[in-house]
Amino acid sequence: MTVTKRLLTNARLATLTESGAPYGLIDEGALVIESGRISWIGEAANLPSHYSRCTPEDLGGRLVTPGLIDCHTHVVFGGDRAREFEMRLEGATYEEVARAGGGIVSTVRATRAASEDELLVSSLTRVDALIAEGVTTLEIKSGYGLDRDTELRMLRTARRIAKERPVTVRTSFLGAHAIPAEYKDRADAYLDEVCLPTLKAAHAEGLVDAVDGFCEGIAFSPEQIRSVFETAKDLGLPVKLHAEQLSNLGGTALAASYGALSADHLEYLDEAGVTAMAASGSVAVLLPGAFYTLRETRMPPMDLLRKHRVPIALATDCNPGSSPLASLLLTMNMGCTLFRMTPEEALAGVTRVAAKALGLEDRGTLEAGKRADLAVWNISHPAELSYRIGFNALKKRIFGGSE
């Protein structure tokens, strides 16, 4: 349904704006949408009289939030890693599986073997699960190709998803995700011969919105990541980084020195890294699905992140290995239960702060001028979104003013 002007009434609006009430709540609210954007929002009693000519859509007192934003996913990939799940339950660690030729590299084999159409079909099953829970924007990374053709194919698939479904997709080039088998022990040569030229080619094709990397003992060192970030800088692309997930290599501080949009995972982050993020304005993207799946016991430094006022986002990290999770609502529950986030922090983390992690200023809150990406829920209190497990209360989703 495409209607140019809509008036939604009898709504409980969780605006997620930073001033005022918890969750930015407005009771007995009304919201006007014009040309895909919110043109007026507030208490229904204050609705300017010229809007009363619109036919109101009565939401029956339901809760309305900004459309949810999953700011870190790897939804495009081939194959699955169910066997690896078994191996880890038999006692192997994530790093041992990776060193034994499993892990990311096994998904690389399956992704290289998949056509663009096959990647599209399998990715859409995961994207549809996210959409069914109110997601209107998601980030998608490459990084399971690790050769030119497959990296480009993954990014083209990500762009096609945005044509196939009413969602906004932001892409991140993650060529520095793992060292492919053919470059074993030659990471620098992989970066010079494959990763950096592919980044330039992908950028030339308009396929890249940001550049990401995996800074870890089993992946790339801070110095190697620096070469990727230098290329990103030359191309005018923002950066982000998988950092401090399994150990502390100082990747976060490096990312912050490049003004990173975000640093992601962060279980092993120390205070120096936190203050670097605070200075650069980078978002901490926490990924409790990976923490849970890997049975990690070290928590991200929640108190330090709060103390230094680093904005905290939450995302699924949907991927076949460390986080086979396609539910942003469960992610919110995990953020609260595993990381002791408040339900308000969790909701901000998948709306306002997630938008910031993607560099998107036109969404993430309900305010006049923002995109009309909304989720309407069959609940009245926003804490219910984080509190329930395996319960999807979505009534409907409005994307750019349409449903």
In the complex, the residues that contact ligand DI6 under the rule CB under 6 A are 103-104, 107, 177, 214, 242, 245, 290, 317, 319-323
Which pair of tokens denotes residue 50? 């010229």
Nearer to ligand DI6, 133 or 244 (CB): 244
Nearer to ligand DI6, 92 or 132 (CB): 92
Helices 196-204 and 148-164: crossing angle, nearest 10°? 30
d(CA 43, CA 221): 52
d(CA 226, CA 211): 12
Residue 177, binding choice from Fe ion, ligand DI6, none, Cβ under 5 to 8 Å by partner class: ligand DI6
- Burial of residue 40 (CB within 10 Å: 0-12, 13-18, 19+) is middle
> What is the smallest separation between the CB atom of 158 and Fe ion, expressed in angstroms?
14
d(CA 403, CA 397): 6
Nearer to Fe ion, 143 or 273 (CB): 143
Q: What is the CA radius of gyration of the chain?
A: 21
> What is the smallest separation between the CB atom of 242 and Fe ion, expressed in angstroms?
5
Residue 214, binding choice from Fe ion, ligand DI6, none, Cβ under 5 to 8 Å by partner class: ligand DI6
Q: 215 Cβ partners below 8 Å, 6+ apart?
A: 221, 222, 225, 241, 242, 243, 249, 251, 254, 255
Nearer to Fe ion, 295 or 309 (CB): 295
Nearer to ligand DI6, 104 or 278 (CB): 104
Residue 351, binding choice from Fe ion, ligand DI6, none, Cβ under 5 to 8 Å by partner class: none
> What is the smallest separation between the CB atom of 356 and ligand DI6, expressed in angstroms?
21
- Burial of residue 164 (CB within 10 Å: 0-12, 13-18, 19+) is middle
Residue 195, binding choice from ligand DI6, Fe ion, none, Cβ under 5 to 8 Å by partner class: none
**For residue 194, which amino acid is it?**
V
Residue 293, binding choice from ligand DI6, Fe ion, none, Cβ under 5 to 8 Å by partner class: none
- Contact set with Fe ion (CB under 5 A): 317
Do 126 and 327 meet the contact criterion of CB atoms below 8 Å apart? no
Question: What distances in angstroms separate CA 355 from CA 16, 96, 137, one per listed residue?
Answer: 12, 35, 9
> What is the smallest separation between the CB atom of 76 and Fe ion, expressed in angstroms?
12
Nearer to ligand DI6, 67 or 251 (CB): 251
Nearer to ligand DI6, 66 or 321 (CB): 321
Residue 382, binding choice from Fe ion, ligand DI6, none, Cβ under 5 to 8 Å by partner class: none
> What is the smallest separation between the CB atom of 70 and Fe ion, expressed in angstroms?
12
Residue 397, binding choice from ligand DI6, Fe ion, none, Cβ under 5 to 8 Å by partner class: none
Nearer to ligand DI6, 232 or 372 (CB): 232
Helices (H), 258-327: 271-280, 288-293, 302-307
Within 10 A of 397 (CB to CB), how many other CB atoms are there? 21
> What is the smallest separation between the CB atom of 331 and Fe ion, expressed in angstroms?
13
336: left (phi over 0), alpha (psi -120 to 50) or beta: alpha
> What is the smallest separation between the CB atom of 113 and Fe ion, expressed in angstroms?
22
Residue 322, binding choice from ligand DI6, Fe ion, none, Cβ under 5 to 8 Å by partner class: ligand DI6
Which pair of tokens denotes residue 310? 């680093």
Residue nearest Fe ion by beta-carbon distance: 317
